[in-house]
Amino acid sequence: MPPFFNSRMFHFLLKVHLLLLCTAVSTAIATPVGMTYNPSTSKLLLPDHVSSSIQSLHFPVVRLLDPTPLSIRAFAYTNITLLLSISNHLIPSFAANRSAASIWLYSHVLPYHPRTHFSLISVGSDVISSANNDITIDPYAVLPAMRNLYLSLHELGIRTISVSTTFSFMNIMTSSFPPSSAEFQDPVNSMIIRPLLQFLDETNSSFLINIYPYNVYRIKSEIPIGYALFQENPHNFRDDIITGVRYRNLFDMMVDAVIAAMAVTGHENIPLIVTETGWPSTRNNEAQTEANRNYAEMYLKGLMMHLRSGMGTPLRKEGVAEAYIYQLFDEDEKNIEYSSGSIDSRSMHGGQNWGIMYDNMSMKYKIDFSHSERFFGKDKELVEMVLGLHLLVVAVLLLQ
């Protein structure tokens, strides 16, 4: 017997084998990526047609802004799971009276559940900044409104739908540099976010946040554009000097800033859902040269590739639980003021085009959004390689 086929060699091979097996298994979890669709700002299109179009693009999840019963029905008998984001204007009535929440559930959820799949209902969106513009919205009403909706769901015997609300990165974070030192802004942190995180923890729900690297890039001129656009480049990195972790894109850095801020409050294990992200394809003034189709396509391609890889972020191995691209169609400017899209996408860049589709439902970009097929293809190769190595190990063992 050749001397190098000894038991140490065998154990080494076994270790490599197990390591590869672990890699094959852990890469299998890609982040589901979906679309944001606002049925009330694309009134000319029938929700049924839009739903077919979304199915043909193979999106597993869809976020409906200000959902109408008709748009919810359009997703029945599909394999698409919905995240409903309800208008801020419903918050005061939900908070004041649980029966208002029940009435809403009777018209929007009960007739369609479980033929339409629902994962979560967001009670309002970006209430912190909306409150500055709209005195009728009291941010302190959000948690009571969420509680009432949660209790109404339970009264109806529905325990599979979570309840949360949506924040905007720019409106709740102090700073994201370095991510490990990030915190939520006060007084929003102690008055609103902490009690909210407690509720999310108790009810197994998720923290929802809109993340736009585009906005951070625009206020921090020292950031290279490639770092915001997921471009692999030896110079596109930032080190977190406290944790010693290296970041290769701005998106991960922003996600980890939120994770670090949650950890400060003692709730670092709550799943994180990116409810909006995207890049505008046209500018509304001369200065916004980065708002163009080329960059928008680069951002979305980079995002898809990154989330499909299942690599996660340095502070959270499994990465974000879901991410939703903002958005399916460009918004008509005259409708923007009624939209519940976040301040990040609306007031700061009103009139810019964030849609991935034209009104005639043809795609603006050449991007493959179907992430399962190709991903499992790559994974199959890895599994085959592991099996091959397994055979080798067995052969070596038999030779001994």
Ligand X SMILES: *[C@@H]1O[C@H](CO)[C@@H](O)[C@H](O)[C@H]1NC(C)=O
Minimum distance, C-beta of residue 97 to ligand X, in the bound complex (Å): 4
Nearer to ligand X, 78 or 231 (CB): 78
Distance CA 71, CA 390 (A): 50
Distance CA 49, CA 361 (A): 9
Minimum distance, C-beta of residue 57 to ligand X, in the bound complex (Å): 13
How many CB atoms sit inside 10 A of residue 279's CB? 27
Nearer to ligand X, 204 or 289 (CB): 204
Nearer to ligand X, 132 or 160 (CB): 160
Q: Binding residues for ligand X, per CB under 6 A? A: 78-79, 97, 99, 203-204, 358, 360, 362
Minimum distance, C-beta of residue 203 to ligand X, in the bound complex (Å): 5
Minimum distance, C-beta of residue 379 to ligand X, in the bound complex (Å): 17
Number of Cα atoms under 13 Å in the Cβ half of residue 139: 22
Nearer to ligand X, 76 or 305 (CB): 76
Minimum distance, C-beta of residue 162 to ligand X, in the bound complex (Å): 9
Nearer to ligand X, 23 or 97 (CB): 97
Minimum distance, C-beta of residue 202 to ligand X, in the bound complex (Å): 6
How many CB atoms sit inside 10 A of residue 81's CB? 18
Nearer to ligand X, 129 or 352 (CB): 352
Nearer to ligand X, 60 or 350 (CB): 60
Residue pair 88/340 in contact by the 8 Å Cβ criterion: yes
Nearer to ligand X, 195 or 388 (CB): 195
Distance CA 109, CA 386 (A): 46
Q: Which amino acid is at 199?
A: F
Minimum distance, C-beta of residue 260 to ligand X, in the bound complex (Å): 24
Residue pair 268/259 in contact by the 8 Å Cβ criterion: yes
How many CB atoms sit inside 10 A of residue 262's CB? 23
Q: What does 259-328 look like in DSSP terms, one character per residue?
A: HHHHHHTT-TTS-EEEEEE---SS-SSTT-TT-SHHHHHHHHHHHHHHHHTT--BTTBTT--SEEEES-S
Minimum distance, C-beta of residue 314 to ligand X, in the bound complex (Å): 26
- In the DSSP assignment, the letter for residue 89 is G
Positions of E strands within 131-187 = 162-168
Phi, psi of 229, deg, nearest 5: -105, 15
